[in-house]
Amino acid sequence: MTGATVVLAINLIVVSLLSASFATIWLYDRKQTIARWMVGVYGLGAAYFLLEFAVARLGEPPLLLLLCFATLLGALTLFDVGVARKYAVPVPKRLLTAVFALSMIACWFVSDLPRSAFSRTMVYQMPFFMLQAIGAGVLWRARSRGRLDTALMGLLVLSALHFLSKPFLQPLLGGGTAQTYLHSNYAMISQAMGTVFSVASALLFLVILARDVIGDVRILSETDALSRLLNRGGFEDRAKALLRKADAGGRPMALVICDLDHFKDINDTFGHASGDRVIRAFAGFLRDTASAGHVAGRIGGEEFAILLPGANLVTARLFAEATRTAFCGLPVEGLPSHLRFTASFGVAERMPRETLSDLLSRADKALYEAKRGGRDCVRLASTPAGTRSSARSP
């Protein structure tokens, strides 16, 4: 068995294992649709290597050569489609269709040329170069691209260049016929380079998928199932990170704590399912009202907190007043249309280097004052120095 044959066999085993690995991920998490596409990519890759063995044994029947070419072409096309769907980039359907169709026609026309002919090798390898370059272009257009994604883009560029280099390497390394191909240095180098790039891109994809799965698990662990806001742990983690940034940049920050009024009466009168509807309605209102930089969470049964980076006490009070006024006029689906629900608010501006615990404590005291003051109002927290400012809504 020649070195090239060994490498070809290794390629077959590797791509089969990779296809099985992506299938396992897809069965575990059906949201990872890219895994399903990769199953097809590496499944076609395994078929391609089997066809390479057949070509070496049977010579060069034109239809077999064309099928071998179409299999690898299809694998790389599916790869580009999967990458586009993964990164929410429009799939370049027309471009991919044109490359596939024209490449098949060109391959058929050059199939009578000697295998060692430069023009035939160039026609054979150029589509693979183009498809890998298209994949890199898709990644370049991705709106959200981290280090791993950038590394994958660079890897696709190198893979594209590897395909482009083959027409220049074959005359130097031999392998001009199907019978001599697997005994040539060109075949060994070509198959080895193919293994390196296919395995490297697959491993990168697996790492990227692992990153995404871990991110999803973290989001689920930090999210309150009923309100779909952050739970208390998630809120505190995000808030502490923002406090550290505020300390570094010297930015102001304010906290608003709110509590649904007479929530026990809602549960006792209409049932817990109706109480859940009120919580969902208020949480949805907070999601719609809060800006992208705000951090909102459900930190208790009917208690919510919103951290406002860059806001001072006046700005935070305006936010609380606007939220209070709008919510008390909001009907809740599934409850009598004439019913309206209210909430009380406590507002505190963060003092320099104040901890999250102390900030929560001051805002909570202001919330208590709002409850004691008649509910459906906003109260401002006292400062650590002892001065106090308060305002009741009209």
Nearest to 302 by CA among 326, 276, 324, 321: 276
* Residues paired with residue 348 on neighbouring β-strands, in sequence order: 255
Catalytic residue among 52, 222, 236, 302: 302
**Residue found by looking up tokens 């983690």 in the block:** 237
DSSP assignment of 214-248, as one string? HHHHHHHHHB-TTT-SB-HHHHHHHHHHHHHHHHH
159 Cβ contact list (under 8 Å, min separation 6):
132, 197, 201
Torsion of CA 192, 197, 203, 204, to 10 degrees: 160
CA distance 138 to 198: 18
* Residues paired with residue 260 on neighbouring β-strands, in sequence order: 343
DSSP assignment of 38-63, as one string? HHHHHHHHHHHHHHHHHHHHH---HH
For this structure, is 302 an active site residue? yes
Paired tokens of 98:
């044109």
311 with 252: CB under 8 angstroms? yes
- Within a 10 A sphere around the Cβ of 357, how many other Cβ atoms? 9
- Known catalytic residues? 302
